[in-house]
Amino acid sequence: MTECVSTLAQLEKTPVITKCVIVEGYHKAGDGGGGTFYWDDSFDGTSDGGTTFMSKIVPVPPKGCWRRIFDGPISVKWFGARGDFDPATGNGGDLDNTAIQAAMDLVKLIGLPLYFPPGKYKVTSTLQYHSSNLDADGKKNTTVGYWNSQQGLHVFGAGMQKSIIYNQIRNANRTGAAAISILRDTSDTRTFQQSGVIRDLQITSDKMIDGSVGIEMAATWAYTIQRVRIMKMGSHGIRIQNWLGDFDGTENLHLDNIVSEYNGGWGIVVDAKEGCESVGFIHIERCKITENKGGGIQWTGQIGVIERCGIYGNGVFPKGTKDPNKPVPIADAYGILVKNVKGTPNGLLITGCELQGNADIQVLVAVGANIRIIQNEFKDDDISEKFSFPSIDIQVGDGNVERVVAGRKITRPVNACVIEDNRIRTAWRSTPASWGKEDKPPSHTVVKVNTNAIGTVIGKFWTGGYKRFEGDKIVELVEVKPLVFLDGYMHLKTHIHTDGVEGGHVLLPFASKRFNINNQPTPADPNMSEFKRLTEARIISVANDKPEVTFVPDTSQWSNFEIIVGGTFESIVLANPTAHTVGAPLFFEFVNNRSGYPILLTFGSEYVAGSGIELFPGEIITGMIVFDETHHWRLYTPWTYQGVPLPLKEGQKPPQSKIL
């Protein structure tokens, strides 16, 4: 026997002798909350508000319930969510929060996906999907170790323009919170959520409520967030974190096709407690990160990828907010901030991204190791009234060489950062109100290498040209300058490939310890104390019987000094290093101050054709050599003559010097 009723309230009053009932809606017919129910007289529990309902007929049956017939995803409308919030008036959506939370509680127990049909859902308290010492079957388990696993949240909507969650959370102190929280309960110290999915919906707000967040996560593994738009949060769009230690981190997270824009904090922030390693293996791809006040992406942890993302106008007060004439950068905001926290094996690849108008540095690698910034496009312009003209595209090292942990000073280097094959495009308006100079581009640095950077490799920038605008019209293309090194030389810790470089400016605002090697009795050199230390350590030896210097590199000190060779020596011999570190480059600058005769530079204990340089008077050659896998010195080309790459391009005047 089958009946049909309009609402679930009517279902609860239907005689239980009816075996099957079709319900047309939760609150009213056609509202998406209806379904087909049957009476289960063996049930001995309570109503969950969506799939099981108790009978309210008198007398109340001692056991049994109306049970929904379903096989597949669970809809939030089954639990009474209306999805009728009107952000313009603030009306509607009053039942949504309780209904959605009840649905989440159920899917945590039974492991089915949760569906948001098209609608606008009002959230007034955080939707919590917290692990609570449950095993994969939803049962309590307090006996296993911290690797206890729980099924992650599977939630999806009808699309980011159709299924919209409005974060309207205002706490007692008028601050906000996360719309969706995927964490651990405070009583749980052992469970990781695994294999969760959040996709095809939008999280937004009608206002920026201080402290509000779209999604926050910790203690998860193998989650995917895909095709989700988060906007107008007072704080971060997505916050990925650990705050207790290495056993509550987020690993193997995939963020794909995320739109995070117009938030008060970062678009995406991956934030680990200082010293923790467990946040890692995070893949961010095909995301649009736009106009977030705190910055675009903050990344902390180990082993990750940021690829094929558009990162635009982050960290900027738009024109007219702070300054009527131009956008204003926000302090400590960046397009991408890399804050690697522990261990040199950590690494991050940034590739295939477009970064435009982020303030005031587009990419800052503050501290970390094995960072690769390859094949990205950097656009520097003030064309948009919401974009700032960055001062720097890429900065390696924040200059903070040490941090204090538990009273101990710990070094904070950036080790092995590779910057290669990136494109630079610069455009600006020629209005005095913007920059004060109509005939020159704004002050701009492509790469800045700071004092705590070790082993930076920079190579193959190419540019689409510098453009100057009047209104919307291009009035001229400005010829870009070649790579420029401060004071005409570069730091030992930085290797710059100059082959293929068409334009850009590399700023190295420091010098390593420099000193001259010569055979004058009392040379006027302020760094001779360092020279004396090296000679006493037998790293440098000067032959008294002939004008020759032997340099025995100590690879443990290669990051501390560079050698300037000049004076009256006729030859330099480079011996095998005292510590056999394979692959470490060594920078030299050779200056011939000798009158009338060249200086012959040889590498290895014996002169071998092809491993030496002949330097004529008055000339300077700079370059690198490397101790290779065969334990021989090898020229680390290209070398430069007076800052020009060797071999010289066609039409340039060749020097007398040559690589032999």
Domain co-membership, 323 together with 438: yes
Region 534-549 average pLDDT: 69
Q: How long, in residues, is the chain?
A: 660
pLDDT in tens, 243-271: 555 555 788 899 999 999 999 999 999 87
Q: How confident is the model at residue 103 (pLDDT cuts 50, 70, 90)?
A: very high
**555 with 577: CB under 8 angstroms?**
yes
- Residue at 204 is within a domain: no
Residue 492 resides in a domain: yes
Nearest to 251 by CA among 215, 274, 275, 217: 217
Whether residue 245 is contained in a domain is answered as no
End residue of a domain, out of 473, 489, 511: 511
For residue 251, how many other CB atoms are within 10 A of its CB? 19
Judgement on whether residues 335 and 481 belong to the same structural domain of the protein = yes
When the pLDDT of each residue in the chain is averaged and rounded to a whole number, the result is: 75
Give the contacts of 649 (CB within 8 A, at least 6 positions apart): none
Nearest to 467 by CA among 426, 434, 424: 426
Dist CA 78 CA 24 (whole Å): 11
Q: How far apart are CA 403 and CA 424, in angstroms?
A: 33
Q: Side-chain half-sphere of 580: how many Cα atoms within 13 Å?
A: 6
**Which amino acid makes up residue 441?**
P
Do 452 and 362 lie in one domain? The reply is: yes
- What pLDDT is stored for residue 650 in this prediction? 47
In a domain, 296, yes or no: no
Compute the Cα dihedral for 316, 320, 322, 325 and give only its sign. Answer: positive
For residues 382 and 428, the answer to whether their CB atoms sit within 8 Å is yes
Q: Do residue 485 and residue 554 come from a single domain? A: no
HEC profile of 50-94: CCEECCCCCCCCCCCEEEECCCCCEEHHHHCCCCECECCCCECCC
Decide: 636 and 625 in contact? Cβ < 8 Å: yes
Enumerate residues 6+ apart whose C-beta is below 8 A from 173.
none
Region of 539 on the Ramachandran plot (φ > 0 left; ψ -120 to 50 alpha; else beta):
alpha
Domain end marker among 511, 533, 568: 511
Rg of the Cα trace of the chain?
Answer: 33
The answer to whether residues 518 and 507 belong to one domain is no
Domain count of the chain? Answer: 3
Residues 454 and 544 in one domain: no
pLDDT tens readout for residues 326-375: 888 898 999 999 986 554 456 889 999 999 989 889 999 988 778 889 99
DSSP state of 491: -
pLDDT value at position 625? 67
The answer to the question of residue 643 being in a domain is yes
> Which residue, 511, 544, 570, sits at the end of a domain?
511
Within-domain flag for 555: yes
**Same domain, yes or no, for 479 and 585?**
no
Asked if 421 contacts 481 with a C-beta cutoff of 8 angstroms, the reply is no
172 backbone dihedrals φ, ψ, rounded to 5°: -60, -30
Whether residues 347 and 492 fall in one domain: yes
User: Do residues 448 and 402 share a domain?
Assistant: yes
| Rounded percentage of the chain residues whose pLDDT exceeds 90 | 35
Residues 496 and 529 in one domain: no
- Other C-beta atoms closer than 10 Å to the C-beta of 349 total 17
The CA angle 268-129-277, to the nearest 5 degrees, is: 50
- Written as six digits, the tokens of 582 are 């394979």
d(CA 237, CA 258): 10
Q: Where on the phi/psi map is residue 404: left (φ > 0), alpha (ψ -120 to 50), or beta?
A: beta
pLDDT of residue 150: 76
Strands 414-420 and 361-374: parallel
- Domain range for 617 is 513-659
pLDDT at 225: 97
- Say yes or no: 487 and 518 in one domain: no
Token duo for residue 258: 């995320």
C-beta of residue 64 within 8 angstroms of C-beta of residue 102: no
Which residues does 515 contact at the CB level (< 8 Å), separation at least 6? 525, 527, 528, 530, 531, 561, 563, 564
pTM: 0.73
Q: Is the pLDDT of residue 554 over 70?
A: no
Could you give the CA distance from residue 403 to residue 412 in angstroms, rounded to a whole number? 7
| Residues sharing a CB contact under 8 Å with residue 85, sequence separation 6 or more, in sequence order | 91, 92, 93, 96, 120, 121, 122, 166
Range among 77-81, 88-92, 202-206, 400-404 with highest mean pLDDT value: 77-81
pLDDT number for residue 326: 80
Nearest to 165 by CA among 116, 198, 210: 116
Instruction: Please provide residue 224's backbone torsions phi and psi, each rounded to the nearest 5 degrees.
Output: -130, 130
Lowest mean pLDDT among 118-132, 392-406, 628-642: 628-642
Could you check whether the bond before residue 73 is cis, i.e. omega within 30 degrees of 0?
Answer: no
pLDDT at res. 635:
64
The per-residue pLDDT for 438 is 44
Contact criterion met (CB below 8 Å) for 519 and 569: yes
Asked if the structure places residue 304 within a domain, the reply is no
Residue 75 contacts residue 32 (beta carbons within 8 Å): yes
Residue 37 and residue 288: Cα distance in Å, rounded?
44
**Is 631 contained in some domain?**
yes
Of 125, 119, 128, 199, nearest in space to 167 by CA:
125
**Which of 133-147, 178-192, 234-248 is the least confident region?**
133-147
Q: State whether 316 and 372 are in the same domain.
A: yes
Kindly state the average pLDDT of the residues 442-447. Answer: 69
